[in-house]
Structure 1
Amino acid sequence: MANRLANTLVGTLVRALTSGSVAGLATTAAVAVAGKCEAGSALGPVNATSHILWGDAAGRQDKASLKYTVPGFLLNHFSAVFWASFYEAWFSRRGTPRGATKTLMKPVLGAVVVSAGAYLTDYYLVPKRFTPGWEKRLSGRSLAATYGMLALGLMATDLFNAARRK
């Protein structure tokens, strides 16, 4: 029993590393594109995430740096893997037992639910110091698109595998 639980947990975490990495890269790309369009700096929103470590000065950084860009990227990436663990545990097709009906409805709705949960947590439940910092550089419209990319990144592996099977 304990061995089965450990295998399930390890499998979920391994899948979360994959889907979370895709989601982390997708959200980083989304904030970079939005940052370039809205604020003239693709790295500004990425750097802004490091405000968790460096305070409000991070939100004003436009150029690549070890101090702001690397921690900003890594904090976002770890966050995406964290949210992916919920997605993989509750909604992923890859975690569905053999023989069970595997439709895309569960992962699509699940990714939207997890992404909405991430947004609510990021902007309504945690202290301002622990927000992604993107709000310092991006419009609400771009934030919505970024959380949409989080959802798409979470379910990307499921969508890819479903397309490959057909």
Structure 2
Amino acid sequence: MSSALALMWRGRHDAGSATAPLNAVSHIAYGDEAFEVDRPTLRHTLPGVLLHAASGVFWALLFEGLRGRHARRGLGATAADAVAATAVAAVVDLAIVPRRLTPGFERRLSARSLALVYGALAAGLLLGARRLDR
């Protein structure tokens, strides 16, 4: 959720539309037309949100796997695991997967905004883990 909120915030800043980056994620299903859609639509926004949420669950599973390596789950270890999982996510998303499987939002956001979105993912993983640990 944290990364989706960051996408909306930075989409409004970079593309003039909070939904543009989420719509761009639907390029996986609808191709390049998704990069041109700025307004909320069922065709692009709903699949974009669902695909983004599914990717968040995927990266959270990696994060939990990393966390399982530590006998003690201190803040430092948890933060390091959140950063490591997010770094892997960014490299895979932006450099390894074929173009059709990239998140798509990188086509609508600046490099600074991408860093903020992935930072929000790391923060969300960390905060969620800390909440569950209590």
Q: TM-score range by the shorter chain?
A: over 0.9
Tell me which residue corresponds to 2:96: 125
**Tell me, which stretches of 5 or more residues in structure 2 are unaligned?**
none
Q: Of the candidates 147, 150, 154, which is equivalent to residue 125 of structure 2?
A: 154
Q: Of the candidates 30, 46, 60, which is equivalent to residue 84 of structure 1?
A: 60
Deviation at 1:123, TM superposition (A): 1.0
Distance 1:124 1:50, change over 3 A: same
Separation of aligned partners in 1, 2:110 and 2:4: 15
Q: Is 1:138 the equivalent of 2:109?
A: yes
After superposition, residues 41-120 of structure 1 pair within 5 angstroms as 41-91=17-67, 100-120=71-91
Deviation at 1:143, TM superposition (A): 0.3
Q: The residue matched to 1:41 in structure 2 has which SS?
A: coil
Separation of aligned partners in 2, 1:91 and 1:160: 14
Deviation at 1:161, TM superposition (A): 5.0
Percent identity between the two aligned chains: 42
**Tell me, which stretches of 5 or more residues in structure 1 are unaligned?**
1-24
Deviation readout 1:115-147 (Å, 9 max, x if unpaired): 000000011110011111111110000001100
Q: The residue matched to 1:45 in structure 2 has which SS?
A: helix
Amino acid corresponding to residue 82 of structure 2 in structure 1: A
Whether the 8 Å contact between 2:23 and 2:34 is mirrored in structure 1 is yes
Deviation at 1:152, TM superposition (A): 0.8
> Given the two structures, how large is their TM-score scaled by the length of structure 2?
0.93
Q: The residue matched to 2:17 in structure 1 has which SS?
A: coil
Amino acid corresponding to residue 79 of structure 2 in structure 1: V
> Given the two structures, how large is their TM-score scaled by the length of structure 1?
0.76
- Between structure 1 and structure 2, the one with the greater Rg is 1
Amino acid corresponding to residue 23 of structure 2 in structure 1: N
Deviation readout 1:47-70 (Å, 9 max, x if unpaired): 000001101110110111111000
Alignment RMSD: 1.6
